[in-house]
Amino acid sequence: MEPKVSPDERITMNALDSFDPFARQGQVQRPQPQPEINKQQRDFSHLDEPMIKLDRKPKRRRKPVPKVLEKMELPTPEEIKQPIIEDVAEKVPFNDTLQSNIVESRTNEGLPSYRAEFAGRDIFVGFSANKATNPITTLALINIALDFGRDKIRFDVSSDENNFYKSRNDLAEKFLATDAKWLLLLDNNIIPSIGRPQWAKATIGAARNIHDSHLQKHIVHRLIGAGKSLVGAAYFANLDDASIDCSKTDLGKKARVCTDSVEAVDWVGSGCLLIHRRVFQDIKKKFPDIKHGPFYPDDISFCKKAMDAGHQPHIDLGVPVFNVGIKAY
């Protein structure tokens, strides 16, 4: 027997079972009457605002391109032919001596004060950026610039990823186009000593095993103070147990302990190399028909040309220089 259900409960139960909860089951759904729409078209044009015609500016006509009446006289191949390295020593007054008038200032304790005073912009730093530059190298260059100032030292950069010697030749050309006396070549993975022991030990892991007295040496003061026309700093290849980058690999032991010595070698790497202007002048005189520049094809060939021109390559074992690979070496 079914329980009795009131009409209101029946409506609620039907609403819960229905897809449309507001419809009553069994009740016919009648459409609601809709009001009739007046289909007469009404004109509202009298309410529209009058259109305002804008005065457009006439288009500018391009001026006719003047025709070339006369042909330009092009220079002959002999006139545009330039030597690979242009020497402007005759154009610029130049004191051709190896002795530099740099005076290294000192503190009361006798340590370098990171300043150098000398007459003229004698030093040209040529930076070879053949790949991503190490940020510590960038900081070292900034400190060198701050030490000497824009009126004492100048910088330039060259990059050629495919031919490393072209970058060297390009820097040599830029150097010879100035009145500078010394060209200091620096690679983008070389960190030279700039006379700041605490900074070096805080930023370079390999410098923490070197005594402060060696890290107080400044690369510019040290190489120029050697009094050699061609001298490079001692550094090692960026590999574990690598040899020193020069012809005499047995000098590596002295370089590890920063022996205060400048040694003659057959060749030295140009990653941190100081070259006097006279070296390029004498190479040009010795090899007037040289092709591809003095640094072709590598550092060894350049040092051999310099030696044949009367300039013995040297290496300074006493100033710390770090070569960066996966770490500093």
By three-state DSSP, how is residue 220 classified?
A: helix
In percent, the amount of the chain with pLDDT more than 70 equals 62
* Residue-wise pLDDT tens digits, 279-309: 999 999 999 988 889 999 899 999 999 999 9
DSSP 17-77: HSSSTTSPTT---PPPPPPPP-------GGGSPPPPPP-PPPPPPPPPPPPP-S---PPPH
Name the residue with higher pLDDT: 101 or 321.
Answer: 321
DSSP 124-172: EEEEE-SSPPPHHHHHHHHHHHHHH-TTTEEEEEE--SS-HHHHHHHHH
State residue 109's pLDDT score. 58
End-to-end CA distance of the chain: give it in Å, rounded. 100
As a whole number of angstroms, the distance between CA 111 and CA 327 comes to: 29
State residue 110's pLDDT score. 56
In this prediction, residues 66-75 reach a mean pLDDT of 51
**Hey, where are the domains in the chain?**
109-323
Confidence of residue 248 (pLDDT cuts 50, 70, 90): very high
Residue whose tokens read 């050699």: 228
Whether 101 and 146 have beta carbons less than 8 Å apart is answered as no
State residue 300's pLDDT score. 94
Give the contacts of 316 (CB within 8 A, at least 6 positions apart): 222, 223, 226, 231, 232, 233, 234, 261, 262
In this prediction, residues 207-222 reach a mean pLDDT of 92
Query: Cβ–Cβ contacts within 10 Å for residue 197, how many?
Result: 19
State residue 270's pLDDT score. 94
Give the contacts of 65 (CB within 8 A, at least 6 positions apart): none
For 297-326, letters b (16+ CB in 10 Å) and e give: eebbebbebbbebebebbbbbbbbbbbbee
As a whole number of angstroms, the distance between CA 230 and CA 308 comes to: 13
Q: Which CATH architecture has domain 109-323?
A: Alpha-Beta Complex (3.90)
DSSP state of 230: E
Mean pLDDT of the chain: 78
Beta bridge partners of 272: 186
* Residue-wise pLDDT tens digits, 88-124: 444 444 455 565 555 555 556 555 554 444 555 689 9
